[in-house]
Amino acid sequence: MTNPFPTVNETSNKPGEQAFEVGQILRLVICELIDDGVLFLGQETYKLEIPYVFETAFLLLMESDPTDELLMIIGIFTHFFTVETTLAERQFFRALAKLIGRRAARLSACGIAAIVSKRGYLDEGCSVGADGSLYNISTLKYPGFADRVHECLQDIFGEKGKNIVTYYAEDGSGVGSAIIAAMTKLREDAGLFAHV
């Protein structure tokens, strides 16, 4: 299996910044398995060849499908990509979606851990606002995403990882920009780092 992450980075509209393209990662793995003759033999799969056609919401649905036959996964592949799936393929897609979602959560936790460590917030604890489709997909969180982030923070920091709380912050980029502007103004007024 070829590592899909360099391809995701190279084809991203923000190279070097978008490591969490979960739908694109899943699509690339599926496309490689199609090319290897493992999936969808004899079926037209051209719709899956379109970059970024596999949305993050599809992974949410794949992971949260409550049916034994994984009917949501049937619906995704039949409706959006006009391909038929076997139960074994659907089980594989669900497991792959969970793996990719777990990776994204662990990458998020690493970023949070780095900032918390650098700023010295671990002992006192802190709250971290998160924005993006993994934290909020039309008001539905990615199933277990925040729990996975917290689990990783505890893997990194042990019990102290429980001192870090994450929450969904709507318009996180805008709020973050406002906070940075306010902090810069306070520093400037205090004569600290006036050149920044």
Reply yes or no on whether the pLDDT at 77 is more than 80.
yes
CA–CA distance, 48 with 173 (Å, rounded to integer): 31
Look up tokens 């596999």; give the residue.
Answer: 54
Specify the pTM: 0.77
Q: Are residues 89 and 138 in the same domain?
A: no
Q: Are residues 74 and 138 in the same domain?
A: no
Asked which of 101, 130, 161 is the last residue of a domain, the reply is: 101
Nearest to 176, CA basis, from 186, 188, 184, 187: 184
Q: Between 185 and 35, where is the model more confident?
A: 35
**What is the H or E stretch that residue 126 is in?**
strand 126-130
Q: Are residues 14 and 77 in the same domain?
A: yes
Question: Is 13 a domain residue?
Answer: yes
Reply yes or no on whether the pLDDT at 87 is more than 80.
yes
Q: What is the pLDDT of residue 140?
A: 54
- The structural domain count of the chain equals 2
Residue 140 phi, psi (nearest 5): -105, 120
Give the list of residues 6+ apart from residue 108 with CB closer than 8 angstroms, or none: 20, 130, 134, 149, 152
CA–CA distance, 186 with 89 (Å, rounded to integer): 56
pLDDT tens for each residue of 44-61: 999 999 999 998 889 989
pLDDT > 90: what percent of the chain?
Answer: 53
Boundaries of domain holding 83: 5-101
